Each structure stands twice: as structure tokens, then as C-alpha cells.
Structure 1
Amino acid sequence: MAALLLAVGVLVAAFVGYNIGGSSTGVAFGPAVGSTVVTKLGAAALMSVFALLGGWTIGRGVIHTMGGRIVPSSEFTLPASVGVLFFVGVALLISNRYGVPASTSMTAVGSIAGLGAATGTLRMATMGRIVSAWVVAPVLAFWICAVVGRYAYPYMDAVFRLDAADAPLFRWREGRVAYPVGVNPAASRRQFVGSGLVVAIGCYMAFSAGASNVANAVAPLVGGGYVGSSAGVLLAAAAIAVGAFTIARRTLDTVGNDLTDLPLLAALIVEAVSASLITVLSALGIPASLAVSATMCIVGLGWGRATRTVRANDALSGEGETTVSMGSLAADRADDPSDVPRIGEEDPEELAAADLFDPTAVGRVVILWVLTPSVAAAASFALFSLVPLAE
């Protein structure tokens, strides 16, 4: 019976990792595939390598937190481990089926917290640290990007002028496996530099996703001592790779996520800031949601850009008015940094361009940011209060 339960636990862990690979590849390499810099196969390969690297290095701290610091490791019996992973798998299944942006990290933590509450072993100090990070990280993401959007974005846009290439940078030989056979002579040096940045930041996102997400797949099994830490990382990374090479192709067809509609420079800023926040939290052993941080980065960057129509002292005195639109990121760029209008001199109509994404989507993410771990914790508490957890 124990061997069967362990096999079920490994299969559920692999299912979790498989779905993480499917969703995270689009987040990390959507801009790179959308701008024809890399193929879907190349994106999957890069995702596999850098997710493994993130999990093997920084991700171990998150595994230790979720596998023994929220509740004692002794609480992760095989039934408990399978139960926790079951809730994570169900959340991912619902997320992929209905497009609901459920956070696997928050669902996993909620499930473990429910186990701890049911057994009276929940360590409140650790949970308080994690929940505080969940509150602070999105706020920090918003304000970092808001400052960039208000004070630096138009100048960066004028200097770098990053645009998706109209045609592939390389000439490709088509077949079962496409591969480059030469450089597109029409491509400029600026396009190559921009493309290099797109790929580099995509790899950084993949590293961050691996560091944060391997624990969601294997922490209960590692915590219970059924799988070693290194073996757990390899299991999760292998499952993420399978997802990257299979179901991620669908998400890459639509360039993955809300970053699709962002200008390339804005997408890179959002990816760099959100990945940095999650990497830092992972290094501290704190599981957190990349989707929530990225969403708040998008909102903050657009809000900061739109507020350039009003000077700070006018806004505080109530003399200035502005219509904040996320479409401000799509406003016409200046040809030179010296041509960028000063704060308070921007044209409100120009910055009130068409919306980049549906604001209701942001509300949905924020609501589920609170709802997902809460429901997971309540369901886990109910299950583990009724079901015996002995081996």
C-alpha cells in the first residue's frame, strides 16, 4: 500500500511540474517567440535548462521551507503528501481548463497550512513571514515599475527603441526540427541587441520560475523523506521540461500571457522586475507568485507612464488632473531623449491610448490572489481533519 501511495505521489508531483512547464514557458519566452527570435523548440530547451538551474541552486531553500518549516517534516506522511499535491494539481487543472490564473505557490502553501491547522502543528511565525512577503512583493513590484514608468520609461524608449523584428533575424531551414542556416541580411545591429536582451531576460525568467516552482511539485515528498532533495529537483525539472516541449506550444502560440500586448521594452522591464523579486524571495526561502508580481508590474508601469501628465506638486495640491490609462505605454515615442516632454507637459490624450489589457483581468488576478490560498487552506483543513494521516 505504501509503495502504491508513493507511486501516486510521484505521478501527481510530475503532473504538477508538467503543468508548471506548460504555463511558465509562455510567461518566460512569449516575447522571444512572438518576435521570431527563437523557435518554440528553442524556447522549450532554454526553459528546461534554466528551470533546472534555478531549482538546483536557489529552489532548494523554497523546498526546505515548504517541506519542513511551515509544518514539521514529520507531518508529511504519504497520505498527507499526496493530499497536498492533489490540491495543487486540481488548482492547475482548473487554471489550464478555464484560464484562471491560480498561483501554484499560494495553493501549495495554503494546502500545507490547512494540514498544519488540522494537526495543530502550523508554525505561525513562518506563515506570517510568507504572508507578509505576499503582501509586500506586489506592492513593491507596482511602485518600482511606477517609478520607472514616470521617470525613466520614455527616455529608455527613445534610447533603446526596441521593436519586435518584422522578419526573423535568421534564415531557417524548415523540417521536423527547424534550425538556422544564416543571418537575415535585412536585420540591423539594434535588432540583434534587442533580440539578445529578449532571450537573456527570458532565460532569467525561466531561472526564476524554476527557483520558485520546483517546490510546488516535490516539497511534501522531500519533506517526508520519500524523495531526496536532489532527486526531487530533478523530478520536478524533468516534468517541467516535458510540459515545456508539449503543452507550452499552445501558450506560445498566443505569446503566453498579458505581456503579449505590451511594447517590447515594457515587456522586458516587467519580466526583469518580476523575475528579480521572485528570485530574491526564493533565495530567502519564500514561495511567491510570479503571475501576481508580473501583473502588478504591468499596472505600475502603465500608471507611472500615464501620470507624467501631472507634476507631483500639482497633483498634491489638487490643481492637476489626469486620466490614467494603461494604453499610455503604447504612446508615440520620442526620436531622441532630448525630445521627451517634461513631466506635466505630456499630452493627456496621447497617453490615454487604447487599453493594453482588460482591467477586469487584473481584478480577477487580485481576487484569486486572496481566494486561491484561502480555499486551498479551508479544503485542506476539512480533509485532514476527517482523514487519518497515519502511514
Structure 2
Amino acid sequence: MDVTIGAYIIAFFFAMNIGASGTAAAMGPAYGSGAIKRRFVAMLLVGGGAFVGALFGSEVVKTIGAGVIPESFITTEVAIIILLGATFTLFFANWIGIPLSTSEVVVGSLVGVGLAFQSLHVSNLFTIFLCWLIVPVVAFGIAYMLGRGIKNIEPKWTFLHTNSTWKKVLTALVIMTGLVESFAAGMNNVSNAVGPLVGASLISMEQALLFGGLFLGLGSMVFGSKVLETNGKKITRLSLLQGSAVSFTGGSLVIVASVFGIPVPLTQVTTSAIIGIGASNHGFQLREQMVLKQIIHVWVLSPVVSVVVSYSLMLIFIHKDVYTLFIMITVSIATLGSVRFLQLIKKERQSTHDGGSGI
């Protein structure tokens, strides 16, 4: 099979996985609040919104295609390696139902390639990392403040819940804000799939946005159900006003970032907003803490995994350096083995102490 065709297949399959992750980020609040009761309808709406948003994502595509590593290094083979490193990480996360930032895994994969070439646009990379830290915190803060206001308003304005007309208005509002966020998802995240293709000059910008958007929307309907459940119902329950606040917060922040060409973790932004709403309403519950802990672990691990995968693929297929790869694998096995050994020792000491045999 021609390597160019292989690059297209991997990129568009990756776009489908991005659509799956974006479903939870964009329509999780609407689904969790009950504005949309059927999962398929939620995935269908976010797919359409993401497709339209993708058509406006050229600035972020430019960043992914040439803003992290020099464009001259991105050949067809390198584009495939970038996409493989990111796709592997994202597909695994979707399979276990954890909302994952596609921006993190793609930038991580780009960094792995850049390390192999010993060439990175460090200043651009620093800006991206800084936004990854700041934007979710801002989302949490905005959502927390909005949540406090909603908590004071809802008990006083009882007509919002009792009057059928107002309930329909709120339902329409949360769906509309979800569509805004799905638009933001397409605008920011389509670059993660097609950016390497544009960087390698395998496809024009217009074609990249069109086909990337199509497969993004398709992925929402095919792969998105597990992630939708996690973000919509397993973190915290949302009222219609709360769901609108979450989607408005996430969507507006991501659209602003997209205008400046910055790939940001949409799922982190939305999940942070959901947690902000939950914290303003009743503090951190045990269920939310457990889900949040699991998601944070994946967020931290995902870019590291994609760095390692893409760097390893570069060593094998581009540099033909199996010796360095062997050393990497050996060090990884030794590290994992040491961590596991320490865990077993700690567990054994705890068991001894609990059994009354310790000092």
C-alpha cells in the first residue's frame, strides 16, 4: 500500500477518534442535564456542530503543521509516525471511556519527533504548555462563579422549573450552548488529525478541513457513547442552567484560543468547568474525586506516552537506531519493575501491621 494512502487512512481514523472524545466534551452537559435524553441524538448534534467548526480551523492547523517542529522535517513517513503515536494513545483512552485531550497526544507525538530530530520550536511549545495550564483553571473559576450565581437564582426563580415555557427555553439554551462548544471542538481539534498531512504537503488546507470535519462528525456517532456517559453523568449531575454555563464557558474559551491558533485541551476545559459547577453546588463529592483522579492520571500520562511512542517509531523507521531503542525499553522495564516491587513491599508491611505482627 502506498505510504500516502496509509497517511490518509491513519489521519481520518484519528479524526473519528477525536470526534468520539469531542462528543463528551461538547454534549456531555446537555446529556447530563437531561436536555437531550438519547445518546444518539447528542452524538448526532455534536457531529454536525464539529463539522461546521472544522471548516474554520485553519489557524490551529498551521500551528500543528509547522508550529511545533520545522515543517521541512515533516515528510510523509514522519506524518504517519506523528499520527500513529497520537492515534494509539487516543484509541486506548476512548476504549476505556476516559475523556482525553487530543491536543495533548498530538503535541506529545510532535515533541517525540522533534526530539528525534533534535529540533523544536521551544517558544511556541512553551506558549502551548502555558495555555494547557491556564485555560482549564480559568474554566474552573468562571464555572464556579456562574455556579454560585445559579445556586442563588434557582431557588428564587421557581418558574424556571415549574413553567413549561421556561423549561423549553432552558432546554433550547443548553442545547444551543452545546452546539457552540461542538463548533469549538471542530475548530480546534480537526487540526490534530489533518495538521501533519498539511505540514507534509499531502493535502490542501481546504480539503483537510472538509474531510477532517466529515470524519470528525462520523466518529462522534460511532465511538462516542462511553465518553459521553463519563462526562455527562459520572462526574456530576447538572441542571439545565448549569449545563448551559459549562458549555458556554468551555466553548467560548476554546474558540478564543482557536482564533490565535493555539491547540488547547477541550476536554480538560469542559471537565474543569463541570467540576467547577459541582464544587459551587455541593463541594467535592467522593464520586467526583474518584473520577477526577482517574482522568488526571490519564491527562498526565497521555502526552508522555505519545512522546515515547513517536520517538520510538522514529528510532526504528527513520534513524534505524535499534540500540537506543533497546536501552529505552530496558530502562522502562527496570523502572516499572522497581515501582511494582516497592508497591509490593509497602503492601506487605501494611498487611503485617494490620495483622498485629508489626512493631
Q: What's the TM-score once normalised by structure 2's chain length?
A: 0.80
Q: Which residue of 2 aligns with 1:288?
A: 264
Q: Distance in 2 between matches of 1:33 and 1:360?
A: 21
Q: Which among 97, 111, 115 is matched to residue 109 of structure 2? A: 111
Do structure 1's residue 157 and structure 2's residue 154 form an aligned pair?
yes
Aligned AA (2:141): W
Which of 112-121 and 245-254 deviates more?
Answer: 245-254
Q: Which among 218, 228, 237 is matched to residue 261 of structure 1? A: 237
- Tell me if the contact between 1:30 and 1:256 (Cα under 8 Å) persists in the aligned partners: yes
Aligned AA (1:157): E
Distance apart, 1:66 and its partner CA: 0.6
Q: Cα gap change, 1:222/1:263 in structure 2, threshold over 3 Å: closer, same or farther?
A: same
Do structure 1's residue 215 and structure 2's residue 213 form an aligned pair?
no
SS in 2 for 1:261: coil
Distance apart, 1:259 and its partner CA: 5.8
Q: Distance in 2 between matches of 1:259 and 1:161?
A: 26
CA deviations on 1:191-227 (whole Å, 9 max, x unpaired) are 2101110220111111011012101111100111101
Number of aligned residue pairs: 319
Q: Distance in 2 between matches of 1:130 and 1:232?
A: 22
Do structure 1's residue 81 and structure 2's residue 11 form an aligned pair?
no
Distance apart, 1:249 and its partner CA: 5.2
Q: Which residue of 2 aligns with 1:15?
A: 13
Where is the helix percentage greater, Structure 1 or Structure 2?
A: 2
Q: Cα gap change, 1:282/1:357 in structure 2, threshold over 3 Å: closer, same or farther?
A: farther
Q: Distance in 2 between matches of 1:197 and 1:71?
A: 41
Distance apart, 1:147 and its partner CA: 2.6
Q: Which residue of 2 aligns with 1:61?
A: 59
Do structure 1's residue 381 and structure 2's residue 288 form an aligned pair?
no
Distance apart, 1:88 and its partner CA: 1.6
Q: Distance in 1 between matches of 2:174 and 2:313?
A: 45
Q: Which residue of 1 aligns with 2:289?
A: 359
Q: Distance in 2 between matches of 1:122 and 1:249?
A: 37
Q: Cα gap change, 1:162/1:359 in structure 2, threshold over 3 Å: closer, same or farther?
A: farther
Q: Distance in 2 between matches of 1:266 and 1:296?
A: 13
Which of 79-88 and 296-305 deviates more?
Answer: 296-305
Q: Distance in 2 between matches of 1:63 and 1:188?
A: 44
Unaligned runs of 5+ in 1: 166-186, 307-324, 327-354
Distance apart, 1:389 and its partner CA: 7.1
Distance apart, 1:256 and its partner CA: 4.6
Q: Distance in 2 between matches of 1:297 and 1:147?
A: 10
Q: Distance in 2 between matches of 1:299 and 1:253?
A: 15
Q: Cα gap change, 1:370/1:45 in structure 2, threshold over 3 Å: closer, same or farther?
A: closer
- Tell me if the contact between 1:162 and 1:194 (Cα under 8 Å) persists in the aligned partners: no
Q: Cα gap change, 1:122/1:240 in structure 2, threshold over 3 Å: closer, same or farther?
A: same
- Tell me if the contact between 1:23 and 1:256 (Cα under 8 Å) persists in the aligned partners: no
Distance apart, 1:53 and its partner CA: 2.1
SS in 2 for 1:225: coil
Do structure 1's residue 51 and structure 2's residue 50 form an aligned pair?
yes
Q: Which residue of 2 aligns with 1:189?
A: 165
Distance apart, 1:300 and its partner CA: 2.5
Distance apart, 1:282 and its partner CA: 1.4
Distance apart, 1:363 and its partner CA: 1.7
Q: Cα gap change, 1:366/1:213 in structure 2, threshold over 3 Å: closer, same or farther?
A: same
Distance apart, 1:284 and its partner CA: 1.4
- Tell me if the contact between 2:25 and 2:271 (Cα under 8 Å) persists in the aligned partners: no
Aligned AA (1:367): H
Q: Distance in 2 between matches of 1:233 and 1:367?
A: 32
Q: Cα gap change, 1:146/1:261 in structure 2, threshold over 3 Å: closer, same or farther?
A: closer
Q: How does 1:91-170 map to 2 (within 5 A)?
A: 91-150=89-148, 152-158=149-155
Unaligned runs of 5+ in 2: 321-359
- Tell me if the contact between 1:9 and 1:82 (Cα under 8 Å) persists in the aligned partners: yes
- Tell me if the contact between 1:261 and 1:356 (Cα under 8 Å) persists in the aligned partners: no
Q: Distance in 1 between matches of 2:300 and 2:42?
A: 31
Q: Distance in 2 between matches of 1:137 and 1:162?
A: 34
Q: Which among 245, 254, 267 is matched to residue 221 of structure 2? A: 245
SS in 1 for 2:203: coil
- Tell me if the contact between 2:71 and 2:200 (Cα under 8 Å) persists in the aligned partners: yes
Aligned-pair Cα RMSD in Å: 2.7
Q: Which residue of 2 aligns with 1:341?
A: none
Q: What's the TM-score once normalised by structure 1's chain length?
A: 0.73
CA deviations on 1:294-349 (whole Å, 9 max, x unpaired) are 2222332333445xxxxxxxxxxxxxxxxxx33xxxxxxxxxxxxxxxxxxxxxxx
- Give percent identity, aligned residues only: 30
CA deviations on 1:38-60 (whole Å, 9 max, x unpaired) are 75565444333321221211x11
- Tell me if the contact between 1:292 and 1:365 (Cα under 8 Å) persists in the aligned partners: no
Q: Cα gap change, 1:233/1:257 in structure 2, threshold over 3 Å: closer, same or farther?
A: farther
Q: Cα gap change, 1:251/1:80 in structure 2, threshold over 3 Å: closer, same or farther?
A: same
Q: Distance in 1 between matches of 2:186 and 2:96?
A: 24
Which of 39-48 and 219-228 deviates more?
Answer: 39-48
Q: Cα gap change, 1:163/1:374 in structure 2, threshold over 3 Å: closer, same or farther?
A: farther
